[in-house]
Amino acid sequence: MKHGGDLISYADYYQGELIDFSSNINPLGPPEGLKRELINSFNTLISYPDIQYRYLRKAISEYLKCNIENVIVGNGAVEIINNIIHLFKRVIIFIPSFSEYEDRARVFGKEVLKLNYLEDFSLDLENLEENMMEGDLLVLGNPNNPTGLRIEIEELKKAYEIVRAKGGFLLLDEAFFEFCPEDYDSIDIFSDEDFKGVGIIRAATKFFALPGIRLGYACISKDMVEEYKKIELPWSVNALADCAGRYIFNCKDYIDKSKRYIEAERKFLLEELSKIEGIKVYTTHTNYILIKLLNWDEEFVFYKFLKDGLVVRKCSSFDALDKSYIRVAIKDRDKNLRLIKSFKELERL
Amino acid sequence: MKHGGDLISYADYYQGELIDFSSNINPLGPPEGLKRELINSFNTLISYPDIQYRYLRKAISEYLKCNIENVIVGNGAVEIINNIIHLFKRVIIFIPSFSEYEDRARVFGKEVLKLNYLEDFSLDLENLEENMMEGDLLVLGNPNNPTGLRIEIEELKKAYEIVRAKGGFLLLDEAFFEFCPEDYDSIDIFSDEDFKGVGIIRAATKFFALPGIRLGYACISKDMVEEYKKIELPWSVNALADCAGRYIFNCKDYIDKSKRYIEAERKFLLEELSKIEGIKVYTTHTNYILIKLLNWDEEFVFYKFLKDGLVVRKCSSFDALDKSYIRVAIKDRDKNLRLIKSFKELERL
């Protein structure tokens, strides 16, 4: 199982509705009013979406506070990752990370260099500097999946320097950006450089709780936008995703409320989980938590939790992690309490 | 302008709503009840679509009368075309045809061999046989865009034989299938061969009047399904497109009504257009008509029609066609009458 969120495959194991701790979606659900907005936009389905997505890209540029000329959109963040990888010869990734970075590179027959995160899952900049070659693409999850760690601002700047010194490109996958503490925004940092040699990908998927709508977007350097346009598929964003994008980024109250909510639940869940014996809980800056199992393997824990109606993410499919890791999403208080209850039962097994 | 349907770019030229004769969509609009269905499916957006699209593929297999194991789905027909082209070394296309066949091949750096249709736009099988090489992919529009011609059943079988003799693959782009007379169904023809070496692509876009929903699907050989799965992007079909697909293929009355409607309007429009002087009207099996302008060029006619509130498709962007061709969609009676009126005015210019 390469990805979370595949509940259909486990529906037979539990009488009742499964709670999905395997995909990392805002527990508050999508912004209020979106349903009404999409109902009113039904007629957009009978035309092709604007092939240039002018209004959507404008809404995104205002949300990101960047120029519309730097904005591209795609069928989920993964399509943008895919297309940018297509444009390079060699891809450097750090592991463990989202499996699609490597998978998409393999699809195009690209050379892939895998470097290990340090033991605390921070970047190994020394190793990066030694291995970075002319024109390489470096893809970094920020925060990284499944570790939940965000790159420190100084580290990020150093990584960028290393990449630029070799005329390479730094692609930041920031699909979980809005869940993070507001200590910095990569868009601010790189707008001074006019995004030269850098791309920052985000998505409606996680924070706006819309994995079904498939809306990814990115702020990238203008010369890369040109290259990107030459290879992207036409009309890759569904017309209702286009409409949704023009609505959700203006939902300021929802955005603030979601940030506060996740911050509080993150604190609560980290504290409660830290009391459980037999697991090591990693610090997280986002809405999921990586856990090392000290006494059991992922299969045992997965099926124990499944019996309780909870689906967690087994992590051995992530390169550099073995069967002793699982990842859990941060959800609403009731569900988080059920997770803790299951962990407490596990503790006794 | 590589594609039709880009009305936003011309909105300033006409006070009032433009009528889009440039994209070839069922004038009856989507099936009744779809809006209600999508409203009821709003909550699917908060989960990832089923990564295997099990229910959707089942609905398609029942509609196509083929096995679910042969069915793949994509973000519009164009994504499936893209991915299948990715799997081959050399692509043969006949021109003029949908520009994306060549464009997608170029994106992947594939060799492209372009052969010309015969003067009546039928297949040049002799030329195909001479040029087909081991393992080539042959992509054919059936009916072809922009010519509107469907391949005769015997020609299709011969083309398949030529392709199979060289261990190649025949990809039929049948995005306009349901508009055609019901003289044959490629699915029937190739199901005897278990779809060995053949793929048949269709879409919700044109016949179900849902270009905004981005739902393409195909029936292909099982070994190709395996190859395809290795390279396709995850969750490429939006959750509401997934729901729509499970609904629309069961709308039998709508399907029948649409077929009869288009048949009648095609007959009417062909007859009326044949009375216009200064144009040559090509026979069509589908819902659009290729027209050769004998006295004007496409620019002149395009802006004359735009002044009347009509957007037609200029065709010089199609390889092998020059500035003396336009393409018009078959729409409802009122709109078709407006088209005829504009042609009658053109006649006098």
Residues A48 and B5: beta-carbon distance below 8 Å: yes
Share of chain B above pLDDT 70, in %: 100
pLDDT of residue A4: 79
pLDDT of residue B278: 97
CB contact under 8 A, B234 and A100: yes
Report the SS3 class of residue B139.
strand
CATH classification number, A34-250, choose in 3.30.70.2470, 3.40.640.10, 1.10.2020.10, 3.40.50.970: 3.40.640.10
A144-200 tens-digit pLDDT: 999 999 999 999 999 999 999 999 999 999 999 999 999 999 999 999 889 999 999
pLDDT surpassing 70 at residue B180 = yes
Spatial distance between the Cα atoms of A116 and A122, rounded to a whole number of angstroms: 9
Spatial distance between the Cα atoms of A21 and A96, rounded to a whole number of angstroms: 19
Average pLDDT along chain A:
97
Mutate to test the interface with A, among B17, B102, B214 (most CBs of A within 10 A): B214
Cβ contacts of residue A89 below 8 Å, gap of 6+? A110, A111, A135, A136
Q: What CA–CA distances, in Å, run from B72 to A200, A241, B345?
A: 31, 22, 47
> In sequence order, what DSSP letters do the residues of A203-268 get, joined into one string?
ESTTTTT-TTT--EEEEE-HHHHHHHHHHSPTT-S-HHHHHHHHHHTT-HHHHHHHHHHHHHHHHH
pLDDT of residue A219: 98
> In sequence order, what DSSP letters do the residues of B250-314 get, joined into one string?
T-HHHHHHHHHHHHHHHHHHHHHHHT-TTEEEPP-SSSEEEEEESSS-HHHHHHHHHHTTEE-EE
Q: Which CATH superfamily is domain B7-29+253-347 in?
A: Aspartate Aminotransferase, domain 1 (3.90.1150.10)
Spatial distance between the Cα atoms of B187 and B207, rounded to a whole number of angstroms: 17
Cβ contacts of residue B25 below 8 Å, gap of 6+? A46, A47, B205, B206, B209, B211, B329
A42-50: average pLDDT: 95
Q: What is the dihedral of CA A293, A298, A301, A306, to 10 degrees?
A: 140
CB contact under 8 A, A233 and B54: no
Tokens linked to B34:
């779809």
A230-252: average pLDDT: 98
Spatial distance between the Cα atoms of A216 and B268, rounded to a whole number of angstroms: 45
pLDDT of residue A284: 97
CB atoms within 10 A of CB A169: 23
Nearest CA-CA distance, residue A35 and chain B, Å: 7
Measured between CA atoms, the residue of chain A closest to residue B8 is A50
What residues form DSSP beta bridges with B139? B93, B171
Mutate to test the interface with B, among A233, A313, A332 (most CBs of B within 10 A): A233
Nearest CA-CA distance, residue B126 and chain A, Å: 33
What residue has token string 């989980």?
Answer: A273
pLDDT of residue B1: 67
B304-314: average pLDDT: 96
Rounded to two decimals, the ipTM of the complex is: 0.94
In B220-249, the residues whose Cβ lies within 8 Å of chain A are 230-231, 233-242
Spatial distance between the Cα atoms of A201 and A137, rounded to a whole number of angstroms: 14
Chain B residues touching A7 at Cβ < 8 A: 47
Q: Which helix (H) or strand (E) holds A344?
A: helix A333-347
- Which pLDDT band, with edges at 50, 70 and 90, does A303 fall under? very high
Instruction: Output phi, psi for A330, to 5 deg.
Output: -90, 120
Domain definitions of chain B by residue range: 7-29+253-347, 34-250
pLDDT of residue B7: 84
Tokens linked to A277:
């014996």
A99-126: average pLDDT: 97
Average pLDDT along chain B:
97
- Which pLDDT band, with edges at 50, 70 and 90, does B11 fall under? confident
B27-82 tens-digit pLDDT: 999 999 999 999 999 999 999 999 999 999 999 999 999 999 999 999 999 999 99
B254-260: average pLDDT: 98
Report the SS3 class of residue A273.
helix
B78-135 tens-digit pLDDT: 999 999 999 999 999 999 999 999 999 999 999 999 999 999 999 999 999 999 999 9
- Which pLDDT band, with edges at 50, 70 and 90, does A1 fall under? low
Cβ contacts of residue B178 below 8 Å, gap of 6+? B207, B255, B258, B259
Spatial distance between the Cα atoms of A310 and B257, rounded to a whole number of angstroms: 47
B192-218 tens-digit pLDDT: 889 999 999 999 999 999 999 999 999
A67-72: average pLDDT: 98
Q: Which of B195, B217, B254 is nearest to B60 (CA)?
A: B217
Q: Which of B147, B152, B143, B174 is nearest to B281 (CA)?
A: B147
Q: What CA–CA distances, in Å, run from A152 to A4, A94, A290, B93?
A: 27, 15, 18, 51
